[in-house]
Each structure stands twice: as structure tokens, then as C-alpha cells.
Amino acid sequence: MYLGIDLGTSGVKAILMDGDQRIVAEASSRPLAVERPHRGWSEQHPHIWWDAVCEALDRLTASHPRELSAVRGIGLSGQMYGATMLDAADRPIRPAILWNDTRSTAECRLMEQREPDLRRIAGRRATPGVTAPKLIWMREHEPDNFARIRTVLLPKDYVRLRLTGEKVSDMADASGTLWMDVAARAWSDRLLASTGLDVSHMPRLVEGTEPAGTLLPGLADRWGMVNRPVVAGGGGDNACGACGSGIVEPGDGTVSLGTSGVLFVATSEARPSLDHAIETLCHAVPGVWHQMSVILSATSCLNWLASVLKRPAAELVRDLGEAPRPATGLLFLPFLDGCWSPQDDADIRGAFVGLEHGTDERALTFAVLQGVAFALNEAANGFRDNGARFDRLLGIGGGSRSPLWMSMVANALGVGIDIPSASELGAAFGAARLGLIAATNTPPSDVLKRPPIARSIEPDPALTESSGAAFEQWRALYAPVRAASAALRTRV
């Protein structure tokens, strides 16, 4: 048996998988709270992560003790970028600063001034979400806490420390910190120095498929495991999700419609994005990298509209039917939380343009779905400008269940989209797969297979023209909506 643990921002999910990659059991923790003491801040204390992991595994122990006793390998997945600062006794110094914390905008500019070659080394520009600028902020605003730092870990790697006693991170997750030379797959002394740290503050690096410690004896006893399982390097949630979907070969990619929208494409080399806020990261598989763009609000836009209209989101989409249709002139910019990628813009907010007396619920819903598709196309154009090539994408996430929405994405991006039939895809499943590889030394290509496909959606030549024209109108709205958003913010 193999165990996958995914530490999300809102909770922990654990799955048990057998050697044939069948899901035997799963368990989740209670929801995790996010603390927001000031505007733009987002924090969690690491002890709640550990409590949530123990809660999920205790539940598996109660429901499937025999299966859990046979675990040979454990894989870890987790929310990325969170700065977890430990003192000399490995105790958290303060709450971790999370991925969606935006306090360090000024520190991003400072970091790029200190290290002009940052984008080439790190594979991306500095943005407030990533780890390194958070430490510059801490050095300036909490100098006493900064002076106590002995180790900085990512969230899932703090869980690993509690599981194994080892300070280890994997290439995929660590490459998102802005402290790694992404092409060399190693810590960068220059980038660390720009934040007042050095390699002694960093965990040891391994590939996501490699062993990174073994479960502590007391924990193996607690969960009834006969042997002490190997704990794999694992990865950040997006890299593990790609492993769960079998997206590990260069040119493979996914388009995910979840709370956020994610475009993810595997590449054969580190390809820094110098002109767009697109991440170039190591994959969880050796010798592979990936590029990623995150649209902060995807299905969350639909859920927002549903809350305003006081109708279930699924019902709004169902009312539109499944048949593809031409683009609409009612345009929606889906930046309810700002824009993270391919433009780094914390000021812009969402907007409808083209409202009229005849606008009804169906028109609003269609515009929201279309707006998210256009935001993903803007990201796809950034990928292509940076040299990435992809002919087809795997459609995943809750939004992929809508044939209409997927047809909008296919027509906007001009690529075919395959919808998998497997329901177990996800970061916890990918983590369990990495646990299997680390425990058995099986070649990754033998484990990380693509799922069966339920249906395929191709671009419709009769609709791509109207989609392209509407996209150009949509893109032209960005600058004026951004200006209005920034002006309104200063007045509030």
C-alpha cells in the first residue's frame, strides 16, 4: 500500500493506494482557517498543518487499519510558496506567510534591484506570492524574528520534518521559492544572499521521486504500520497533480478549472519567462521542467455569480445547455482577486462590459465562463511567446465537467482538450504515485501513466473566429479596467 498526503490551504486530504494504483480509502481533516490580520495578509500556524495530517491519518487508522499497516511508501504534496520559519530548536518562529499573501510587493522590486540576473536564474520574475520576498519583508519589519531564523521550509516540508525528522525539500516545490537556480536544479547562493540568507538556512534537495527519509518509529506505531515507510520527495500541489494525471513528458499539459484556473505544460528544459509573470519550475520527475500560469479566480467567479443570483452554480451552467455557441459581446474580466499571471497586477479587479436591459442570468453566466476562457488564452499566448508548444491539453478540475465551458476553452486556445474518465486524479493521488516510485525504485514512466479518456473536445472552426474577435475586444479592456480599479482603490 502507498499513502499520498496533500496539505492544502483549506485542509488535508490523504489517500491509500494499492500497488495497482487503485484508490482503497481516503480521509480528510476538518477545514483549516486562514488568518488575515491586515489587508493583503494571509497566514497559518504550522501546528495546524500537523494536527490536520494526524487527524486524517488517525481516521484512516480507524477505518482501514489493515490496509494502513501495509504502507511501504508515502508521498507528500502541498500548498506552495508558504514561508515557514524555524528557530534553532526547529520551532516555528511565527505563523507561516502563505502563497496568497501580497504584503511583499515592494520587496519584489528590491530583490530584482539587488540581483539583476534574478529572472534568468529563477526562471521567472519576483512576485509577492513566492517565498523569498517574504523574508525581505520579515528582515525589515520583524528584525528580531528574522535574527532567530535557522531554517526556512515550505509547508509540506514542515510536515515532512514532523514525519521523519529530516529537513528535505524536492526540486519542484523548492523551485518556486525564488532561491533556486532552476536550470541547475540547485540552490542559488546569489538569490539567497539577496534576501540575507545562505544555503545553511535551506533544506537538502532531492528529486520528487527519490527517498527523503523514513517515518519515525513512534508514528509508525501510532498508525499501526508494520514497517517504517519511505517518504518520497513529493512536490508542490500542481506538480503532484500533474503526476496524478500522467503529465510528465515535454509537451504534455493540463488546463484546470478549479477555484483557480491553471495552465500547466511540461518542458524538456528550463525556459525562463522574462516578459510575462509565468512560472518556470522543476517538475517532480528528474530531467523535466514545467511552465505554469495561474488565473486566481475561475470557478470562484461562477460561485460568486451564483451567490449574487441566489441560484446553484451547477444550475446556472445547466441552463445554458451543452451545445457550443459563438462568443458573446457581453464581456467579463474574471479578476475578482486581482491578476497573478501572465500579468502580475494586484490592483485590477473584475468587470462586466456591455450590460444592457436585455441582459439576463443566462447571458451573465455565459459571459463569466467566456471571461475565464479568455484569461486562460492570454496565459497560453504568453507560453507561446516564450517558446512553449502544446497540441492538446488534459482538462481537469470541477469546471471540466461542463462540455460548454470546455468548448469555450478549446475554441479560445485553439487546441483539443481531452477529458479523463478517472475520478481519482489529483495532488494526493500524484503524491501516492511518487511514494510508490520512491519505495520500489520503479521507473517513473512505468507508474505515471495517462488516465483513460472519457471524451475529447476539438476547436470548432466555425466558432474560433468569433472567439478570436471577442478575445481581442476583451484584451483591449484590460488597461482601462485596471486604471479604474486602481483609482477606485485609492478612494476607498
Q: Hey, which residues are catalytic here? A: 237
Which amino acid, residue 10?
S
Q: Which three cell numbers stand for residue 264?
A: 500547466
* 419 three-state secondary structure: strand
By DSSP bridging, strand 73-78 and strand 230-232 are parallel
What Cα–Cα distance (Å) separates residue 198 from each residue in 93, 145, 212, 264, 281?
A: 18, 17, 22, 31, 21
Interior CA angle at 22 toward 18 and 23, to 5°?
90
The answer to whether the CB of 27 falls within 8 A of the CB of 60 is yes
Phi and psi angles of residue 85, each rounded to the nearest 5 degrees, phi first: -100, 125
Distance CA 82, CA 84 (A): 6
Q: How many whole angstroms separate alpha carbon 410 and alpha carbon 85?
A: 42
Angle between helices 105-114 and 131-141 (to 10 degrees): 100
> Is there a contact between 111 and 207 (Cβ–Cβ < 8 Å)?
no
Q: Cis peptide leading into 342, omega within 30 of 0?
A: yes
Question: Residue 206 phi/psi, 5° resolution?
Answer: -135, 165
- DSSP-derived letter for residue 90 is S
Strand residue runs (E) in 323-415: 331-333, 351-353, 392-396
Rounded-to-integer distance, Cα 1 and Cα 15, Å: 10
Residue with cell 533556486: 180
Counting Cα atoms < 13 Å in the Cβ hemisphere of 6 gives 28
What is the C-alpha separation between 76 and 284, in angstroms, rounded?
11
Q: How many CB atoms lie within 10 A of CB 164?
A: 22
R_g of the chain, CA atoms, integer Å: 22
Return the closest-CA partner of residue 206 out of 17, 14, 333, 76. Answer: 76
| Number of alpha carbons in the 13 Å side-chain half-sphere of residue 355 | 9
The DSSP string of 384-403 is: HHTT---SEEEEESGGGG-H
Q: Are strands 73-78 and 2-7 parallel, antiparallel or unpaired?
A: parallel
DSSP, res 33? P
Cα(456)–Cα(389) distance, integer angstroms: 19
